[in-house]
Chain A
């Protein structure tokens, strides 16, 4: 690192070099520090703007996620935390393979929503289907098919005509939202009130005691599958190569178009599974807000986890934990629900910001080095001094890291 140092120009005040490797625990420590720092900062904001002292701030986060005192409340809140994490996690898993091949799919929101719509449509139009299990199977098939179609359309356009996938998937979100609004108007045409469907009486996944248990288990299985698929399968390897360089991929005989379409089909299928679960296991209805922006939050979750499914469990948990805690803060202090968004935004900003300190090293210009640079006359002596200088500026670190 130090040897890359160039000596013939005046050294800038701040100097950045790439950090090749860092022990796992050290990266974790930096990230944890960032989260703590963000919390301190948010607690300061809470004190300034809503008059919550740090104790109340922390209490809101504990209460919002784990309840306060009574077990009946704690049980509800902990399961809400698990449920929220599971939903966010499975959508994050869905967007991950595409991101690993640098296909910027921001259409998970629409893919999940259209799948949920397909599931609800099966219940609505399938009044003649008497067997509950058959109805559930059809709902699942319809949802997965809808998710795949929604994901495959932009993928095919990308593969064949190199259409911009970011814009395309984004547009598909709007089509999905408006389709839901359209069908809700049709389905509730003669009803009094508003265009809300109410609770679907059929197509409920068996709960086996706890409503969220089956869902949580399915999400964990999907996580394990995704981890193996991405890290230990040929497909996963192909995705990584396409992500690194499409030319390299072509050179070693990978059919890039096929990989793009295949990967998006997988994404769409997982979104389909999610949409099905939202209708059959969790919400028992559909509205335009069924996905509620989680298709976009999932992008951040996936990215924060560096596209690793196992780390994603933690990042999804973090985001949901923040939302529930800050939401409790807004409830306790009767402030606008914009405040939770601000808190989540700040913490994520800090976490993303700390990645910079993990990937790069910052050197500040040293006084005597500056002097050395200034009197530099092109002699070997000056060069030596310059090269030697960075080491004491960041004692030990450089050596250890290498």
Chain B
């Protein structure tokens, strides 16, 4: 009896051991972990976009929840460094942070933990810090805004054909006067200009990434000033809701506003970070290097347009967007083609941009070659900060 019991126990143990062994084999990266540091939580559209991306990438890679640790509400201070250390102590092999101000503290951690990969979205210092384990990433969102501009241009053209008294002036609500915003509104303007060559644009700045009241007031001021179509680069519903109230067509950012602005929503562009998160996980698992500066494009599915609105866009918009998108992908069309804009009445033949961040913000790199401005090529974060003709800053 006793012998039987022992042999039974042994049998059970062996089967259990086999199971554990097999389970271990099925997932070679069972001990892989990624830590994600977010500035806010899902209540911010900016961070929500990252949460969605991380969850999509997690699904695509087949990782469990305990392998993808998300830390929310981490301020842009030494707390970011502490959060990174905490994640590393939990066994994370890659740390990803989503906000510009996290950069210095990520670099500080990267220097201390050379065996861990640090990936930072929207930062600018990776190519000058020259650390093997610190990387920046951004997306060529200007391509998305350009395509959204095409949709807006088609709408504007239709409006002018329906009412010959309409003056083609559009408005833009921007957050700050940084390159990221300038690059964004210029590409949007050039998209519209592709369809309506006589268009001009007014820009109102809000000095905040998220300020619903100020954004709404800025949009209303533009509308009162005669702007017949509005777009924005700021994170609240301020501008879209002002447009819906006044019945002015709107091109949105970060996600569709169709549900709350059904009559005026044309289209929205956004960055999808899932391809990048997937990329850094795969590279780390395989022990391969991660690009110092990674720029997501239309081609990598990092730059996306939402579905078109049901009412505001004109028929045939999707076909036109697809046509231009194919040209961008093929490289036969460039958003910042110097034939398509002028500065002070002149064609731009040379421009030095501030690509390498330094105290004095000195322009250091020639970025015009082969007839176009090479945006996001020498560094992933935008550096197009040229004030081109046809665009007026209203409150600066």
A283 interface residue per 8 A CB criterion: yes
Q: Are A192 and B381 in contact (CB under 8 A)?
A: yes
**From B355, which residue of chain A is reached at the shortest CB distance?**
A192
**From A74, which residue of chain B is reached at the shortest CB distance?**
B89
B41 interface residue per 8 A CB criterion: yes
7 A-B pairs with C-beta separation under 8 A: A70-B89, A76-B85, A185-B207, A194-B100, A197-B101, A198-B104, A199-B108
A297 interface residue per 8 A CB criterion: no
**Interfacial chain A residues near B209, Cβ < 8 Å:** 194
Q: Smallest CB–CB gap between A120 and chain B, Å?
A: 11
Q: Mark B82-100, 1 if CB is under 8 A from A, else 0.
A: 1001100110000000011
**Given the complex of chains A and B, what is the CA–CA distance between A72 and B116 in angstroms?**
15
**Interfacial chain B residues near A194, Cβ < 8 Å:** 99-101, 176, 178, 209
A290 interface residue per 8 A CB criterion: yes
Nearest first, the 10 closest Cβ-Cβ pairs linking A and B are: A196-B101, A199-B104, A73-B89, A283-B77, A193-B100, A72-B89, A198-B104, A337-B41, A194-B100, A190-B361
**Interfacial chain B residues near A73, Cβ < 8 Å:** 86, 89-90
Q: Mark B361-392, 1 if CB is under 8 A from A, else 0.
A: 10000000000000000000111000000000
B75 interface residue per 8 A CB criterion: yes
**Given the complex of chains A and B, what is the CA–CA distance between A194 and B103 in angstroms?**
12
Q: How large is the interface on B (under 10, 10 to 19, 20 to 34, 35 or more residues)?
A: 35 or more
**Given the complex of chains A and B, what is the CA–CA distance between A190 and B383 in angstroms?**
12
Q: Smallest CB–CB gap between A205 and chain B, Å?
A: 12
B77, B79, B104, B180 interface centre (most CB from chain A within 10 Å) = B77
Q: Are B103 and A198 in contact (CB under 8 A)?
A: yes
Q: Are A193 and B69 in contact (CB under 8 A)?
A: no
**Interfacial chain A residues near B354, Cβ < 8 Å:** 192
B124 interface residue per 8 A CB criterion: yes
**Given the complex of chains A and B, what is the CA–CA distance between A164 and B85 in angstroms?**
46
Q: Smallest CB–CB gap between A108 and chain B, Å?
A: 18
A289 interface residue per 8 A CB criterion: yes
Known: A195-B176, A337-B41. A287 touches B71 (CB 8 A): no
**Given the complex of chains A and B, what is the CA–CA distance between A190 and B69 in angstroms?**
35
Partner of A192, one of B65, B82, B89, B180: B180
Q: Are A76 and B108 in contact (CB under 8 A)?
A: no
**Interfacial chain B residues near A338, Cβ < 8 Å:** 41
A308 interface residue per 8 A CB criterion: no
B42 interface residue per 8 A CB criterion: yes
**Given the complex of chains A and B, what is the CA–CA distance between A373 and B124 in angstroms?**
82
Q: Smallest CB–CB gap between B121 and chain A, Å?
A: 11
A379 interface residue per 8 A CB criterion: no
Within 8 A of B (CB), among A308-332: 330-332
Q: Smallest CB–CB gap between B385 and chain A, Å?
A: 8
**From A340, which residue of chain B is reached at the shortest CB distance?**
B73
Q: Are A193 and B180 in contact (CB under 8 A)?
A: yes
B357 interface residue per 8 A CB criterion: yes
**Interfacial chain B residues near A282, Cβ < 8 Å:** 77-78
**Given the complex of chains A and B, what is the CA–CA distance between A33 and B234 in angstroms?**
49
A334 interface residue per 8 A CB criterion: yes
Q: Mark B176-212, 1 if CB is under 8 A from A, else 0.
A: 1111100000000000000000000000000111000
**Interfacial chain B residues near A198, Cβ < 8 Å:** 101, 103-104
B105 interface residue per 8 A CB criterion: yes
Within 8 A of A (CB), among B20-70: 41-43, 65, 69-70
B76 interface residue per 8 A CB criterion: yes
B76, B361, B381 interface centre (most CB from chain A within 10 Å) = B76
**From B38, which residue of chain A is reached at the shortest CB distance?**
A337
Known: A76-B85, A191-B361, A330-B72. A196 touches B78 (CB 8 A): no
A202 interface residue per 8 A CB criterion: no
Q: Smallest CB–CB gap between A94 and chain B, Å?
A: 21
Q: Smallest CB–CB gap between A226 and chain B, Å?
A: 27
**From B179, which residue of chain A is reached at the shortest CB distance?**
A192
B302 interface residue per 8 A CB criterion: no
Partner of B82, one of A67, A76, A185, A285: A76
Partner of B86, one of A76, A191, A197: A76
**From A72, which residue of chain B is reached at the shortest CB distance?**
B89
**From B105, which residue of chain A is reached at the shortest CB distance?**
A199
Q: Are A191 and B101 in contact (CB under 8 A)?
A: no
**Interfacial chain A residues near B208, Cβ < 8 Å:** 181
**Given the complex of chains A and B, what is the CA–CA distance between A86 and B382 in angstroms?**
41
**Interfacial chain A residues near B43, Cβ < 8 Å:** 336
Q: Are B70 and A334 in contact (CB under 8 A)?
A: yes
B122 interface residue per 8 A CB criterion: yes
**Interfacial chain A residues near B78, Cβ < 8 Å:** 199, 211, 282-285
**From A285, which residue of chain B is reached at the shortest CB distance?**
B77
Q: Smallest CB–CB gap between B20 and chain A, Å?
A: 20
Partner of B381, one of A72, A80, A193, A285: A193
**Interfacial chain A residues near B65, Cβ < 8 Å:** 332, 334
Q: Smallest CB–CB gap between A73 and chain B, Å?
A: 4
Q: Mark B344-365, 1 if CB is under 8 A from A, else 0.
A: 0000000000100100010000
A77, A192, A290 interface centre (most CB from chain B within 10 Å) = A192
